[in-house]
């Protein structure tokens, strides 16, 4: 699991460990203090050419079958208009949301093919919503969705499934940071304007991710982008 030290990554990893899975988890800057049982940690920075090597070694060192790959790395934009957003931000957001997935696959492709793994990337409804002031993030998440569908078609003959979950707003520290960038001063009132009057919870998104990636009833699905939100 890449991005395992983030809020959603932590929620997914916690559920997996409780269900008896062994998880190879990644962090980028600081190793988590509470590593816990059932997880082995490896540093993974998508901006570094050497990143796939360390992740590949960590996964290959684990016995048993590689059942699933969860790609949870992402980064938001500064919420400025395209005209006011530096090109470097577009590049950084693209690297975090798209290149990280490419590096993950470079690390794990051979093992995933051998074991018939399922791959689930976590995207966002922003990939299609294209809201004003969110250009770098929207472009990156749209690119990630296209990449997932492409990879699914390439790997079908190898027995690898590749899908993407695109949730709407999740109640997390990152969401509150993003709302602050947008000038939201009353998160509660903002949430009340959402469908059902609330955001998604980390736990329900984590449960959906695990279900899509590992449950038998999803074993036919590949090359799909699944939105998780309310249709209005």
CATH of the domain at 54: 3.40.50.720
In a domain, 189, yes or no: no
Q: What is the pLDDT of residue 103?
A: 97
In a domain, 15, yes or no: yes
In a domain, 11, yes or no: yes
Q: What is the pLDDT of residue 178?
A: 84
pLDDT per residue as tens digits for the range 10-69: 999 999 999 999 999 999 988 787 666 799 999 999 899 999 999 999 999 998 999 999
In a domain, 42, yes or no: yes
Measured CA distances, 232 to 11, 74, 195, 196 (Å)? 28, 26, 8, 11
pLDDT per residue as tens digits for the range 73-89: 999 999 999 999 999 99
The structure tokens 């109640």 sit at 171
Residue-number span of the structural domain to which 15 is assigned: 7-168+202-227
- How many CB atoms sit inside 10 A of residue 15's CB? 15
Own/partner pairs for 62-66, CB < 8 Å, 24+ apart?
62/22, 62/24, 64/22, 65/115, 65/117, 66/108, 66/111, 66/112, 66/114, 66/115, 66/117
Contact 159, 202 (CB under 8 A): no
pLDDT per residue as tens digits for the range 179-213: 888 888 998 999 999 889 999 999 999 999 999 99
- How many CB atoms sit inside 10 A of residue 194's CB? 14
Q: How many residues belong to the chain?
A: 232
Please count the structural domains in the chain: 1
């Amino acid at each position: 699991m890449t991005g395992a030290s983030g809020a959603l990554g932590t929620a997914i990893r916690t559920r997996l460990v409780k269900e008896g899975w062994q998880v190879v988890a990644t962090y980028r800057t600081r190793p988590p203090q509470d590593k816990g049982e059932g997880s082995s940690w490896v540093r993974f920075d998508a901006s570094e050419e050497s990143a796939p090597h360390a992740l590949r070694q960590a996964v290959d060192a684990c016995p048993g079958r590689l059942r699933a790959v969860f790609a949870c790395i992402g980064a938001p934009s500064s919420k400025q208009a395209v005209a006011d957003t530096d090109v470097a931000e577009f590049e950084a957001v693209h690297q975090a949301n798209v290149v990280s997935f490419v590096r993950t696959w470079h690390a794990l492709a051979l093992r995933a093919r051998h074991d018939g793994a399922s791959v689930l990337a976590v995207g966002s409804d922003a990939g299609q919503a294209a809201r004003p002031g969110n250009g770098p993030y929207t472009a990156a998440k749209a690119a990630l969705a296209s990449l997932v569908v492409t990879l699914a078609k390439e790997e079908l003959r190898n027995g690898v499934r590749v899908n993407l979950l695109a949730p709407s707003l999740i109640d997390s520290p990152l969401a509150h940071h993003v709302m602050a960038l947008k000038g939201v001063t009353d998160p509660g009132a903002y949430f009340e304007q959402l469908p059902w009057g609330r955001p998604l919870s980390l736990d329900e998104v984590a449960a959906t991710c695990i279900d899509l990636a590992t449950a038998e009833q999803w074993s036919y699905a590949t090359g799909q982008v699944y939105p998780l939100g309310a249709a209005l």
